[in-house]
Each structure stands twice: as C-alpha cells, then as structure tokens.
Amino acid sequence: MPPTVVTLPITAAAWLLVTIRLLCFRATLVDRRFNVLLALLTGILTTHEPTLRLHLSALTGGRLSIGLIYQLGAVGFMVTTAATLLLAAAMLGRAASAVAVYGCAGASCAVALLCSGLAQGTSPYTMYEQPGPGQFGFWLALAPMSYWMVLHTGRVCVAEMREQHDRRERALHALILGAAGTVLLMFSLTLLSCGLRAFGLESGLTRAQVVIDDHTVFVQVLPFFGIGAVPLVFRLVDRAGLDAWSRHRKRLLPLWFGLTAVCPEIVHRISMPVEGHRSRYYLHRTVIEIRDSVLILARYATPTPAHLCAKIAAATRAGPEREALDLAVRLVRACAAKSRGEPPAGTGSLPHCAGDSLAQEAAGLAAVAAQWSRARALVDEATIDATARA
C-alpha cells in the first residue's frame, strides 16, 4: 500500500474539492452529476486509505471491520459506475433515467453481496481470502455495468478531445481515457484472479492483483479530480486578476485613470458581472469608459503645436509608437483644458483605436496607455517652457 503520507493528503484534498464544488459549482446538470461522481470517488478513496479506514472502524466499535469497509469500497465502485454513466449521458446530450441507472447498480450490488456475503475481517483483503466461488460471483455481478461504463466514458472522452482546442483540456480528457482503460484492465484482471481462486489456484498473478487493486485507485482518480479542479483554478485566477483579460485591463489603467479623472460621469461604480466572466466584463467596461471619455474630450482637443510635434518626433520612431504618443499628448492637453474649465474649442474628433475584437481594441488603447506618462511629461515641460517665456 502507498504510505499514508501520500494517500491521506490525496484523500483530504479530494474531500476539500468535493465540498467546494458542491457549494459553488452546481449550476448545470453536468456540474451536478460530476459533483456526485467526485463525491463517490472520494468515498472510495476513504475506504482505501489505511489511516481513515482504521479510524472509521474504531468509530463504529468494530461493527464496520477493515475487511467490510474495503468491500463497501467495491460496492461503491458500482454506484460510481452508475454516476459515470449518467454524467456521460448528460455530456452526450442524451436523456437517461437516474432511477433506472441507479436501480441497475443497486440490483448488481445486491446480487454481488448475495454471492459473497459480508467480508467481516481485520484484513482489507478479506473478500479475496474467502474460499469458494463467492468472490468470483461478486465481481461477475458487477461486470456488465462496469464494461458499459468504460465504453461510454471512452466515447465521451473521444468526443470531447475532438471538440476541444485547448491542449490542457485535451490532455485531461486523454488522462481520463487512460484511466478508463486501466479500469477495464483492472476489472478484467480481478475477474480472472477471482475465477482462479474459485478453483483454489493461487499464483503470482492472483497475489499481484490484490496489491494492484489496493494501489491503483489513488492514481485512477487523479484525472477526474484534475478536471474537477479546473473551474476552481480559473475562478481563483480570475479573482486574483492573473488571467489574460485582467492583464489587458491593467495595461489600460494609466490611460483610464487620466481620462476618467476629468470625465467621472461616464464611470459606472456599481455592477454585477456574471460569475466566470468577471475579467472580460471589467476589460470591456474599461474600454467603453475610455472610449466615452475620448468622445467627451474630443470637444477640447486641438491640433498638437509644432514645438510638441518636434519633441514627439525626437522621442519616438515613425510609425505606431509616434501615432500613439501624439494621441496621448492630444488627450493630455484636452484633459488639462477641461480641468481648467475652458470652453470646448476642439475639432470634435480624435483618432479611434478600433479593432476587429475586444482584444485588438484593448491592444490599441494599451499602446496609448504605454505613452501616457511620457505624454504628460512632454506637456508639462512645454507648459513650463511657455510660462518661462512669458
């Protein structure tokens, strides 16, 4: 068995993730069914984790023996199979009766327990140590739904990998497909080993099966919990402002602060962004508020004086950088004119940083924002020079 320093943190993290998902991620049918699947997988982890298994047995005064807890994990696997089938149906857009699917799982479990009886014992492998064909009957009763589940999981993973363009998402679904493959191999190995034990045949294969059965669950569940953690990670990244939309917005903030300081009426102070799209919403709002500020300031904008044009030409290379600095200088001068209370005397128009998408428009405005501090310095320097000459 892997050491408890490995298995216990995995199980604890699983319980934490399940709790968070049950509280925060339950909006869609797929979310809810995936949460049920993760909760059942976490229960199976608990039955395989030696420290938790020992404490659980102690808490029940031994009525739940170590062997019985382990057997209940096998029964839980069948319920997990039903949850996986329902999740696969939801992801494929097909109707499936939860009552019928869980009913089949319950019937399979009942037949399995009738075949083997309860595995009361101090060893987790008690169910494999019982003589006779009972253990083979146990796993044979669970076989139809197990193979059905592997088939449907494979179909969903292949469909998702074809639709997904994100390499990380495709990699996670490939891992789940691999996990389904290991379930297929493990179940077949268990069925074969139990068949050999039914005839009293013990070998290296049967001994290896017991060890593998106890070990692999902690590896098999990792892809499922990896996918389950993705929305949580995205939400944390969004809240921390580390996503791409937030980075775009941060590059606009110097320009936004400068413009909205003199056009505060266009800033919306209260908002309720849709959860999961906060960063894009805030970027969109920032772009709109900058655009509205530019429309207001266009009435105060005048052509750049010749001496400032010369300084702009000396400070930049010809091309987009010079155009961005020239626009920034015109905006700074318009801000100053509006702040001083001067009447509108501009041309009524300013160049607009248009783009085919939000990201392109944000990139154009970000180029102006990058020149904002330099533009203010040039305008301040020109003002000081004009005052000195006067």
Over residues 294-328, the pLDDT tens digits come to 888 888 888 888 888 888 888 887 788 888 898 99
* Host domain of residue 370: 241-389
Q: Same structural domain for residues 147 and 201? A: yes
Residue type, 140: L
Average pLDDT, the chain: 84
- Residue pair 83/224 in contact by the 8 Å Cβ criterion: no
Q: d(Cα 60, Cα 63) in Å, to the nearest integer?
A: 6
**275 in the same domain as 174:** no
What's the half-sphere exposure (Cβ side, CA atoms, 13 Å) at 40? 20
Q: Is the CB of residue 301 less than 8 Å from the CB of residue 333? A: yes
Confidence of residue 106 (pLDDT cuts 50, 70, 90): very high
Going by the DSSP 8-state scheme, the letter that residue 347 receives in this structure is -
Residue after which a domain boundary falls, among 237, 258, 291: 237
Residues 224 and 253 placed together within one structural domain of the fold: no
Among candidates 319, 262, 312, which has minimal Cα distance to 290? Answer: 262
Q: Are residues 154 and 286 in the same domain?
A: no
Contact assessment for residue 34 and residue 77, using Cβ atoms and an 8 Å cutoff: no
- Give residue 275's pLDDT: 60
Question: What is the 8-class DSSP label of residue 390?
Answer: -
Assess whether 14 and 103 both reside in one domain. Answer: yes
Q: Virtual CA dihedral for 32, 36, 42, 48, nearest 10 degrees?
A: -160
Q: Domain boundary at 237, 259, 279, which?
A: 237
Q: What's the structural domain count of the chain?
A: 2
Residues 226, 245, single domain; the answer is no
The domain boundary, picked from 219, 237, 255, lies at 237
Q: Do residue 265 and residue 222 come from a single domain? A: no
Q: Are residues 207 and 245 in the same domain?
A: no
Q: Within a 13 Å sphere around the CA of 365, how many CA atoms are in the beta-carbon half?
A: 32
**Distances from the Cα of 112 to the Cα of 77, 103, 109, angstroms:** 12, 14, 5
Q: Do 225 and 245 lie in a common domain?
A: no
> pLDDT digit string (tens) for 204-233?
888 888 888 877 888 888 888 888 888 888
Looking at the structure, tell me whether residues 16 and 132 fall in a common domain.
yes
Tokens of 15: 């319980």
* Domain match, 270 and 224 both: no
* Same-domain check for residues 213 and 291: no
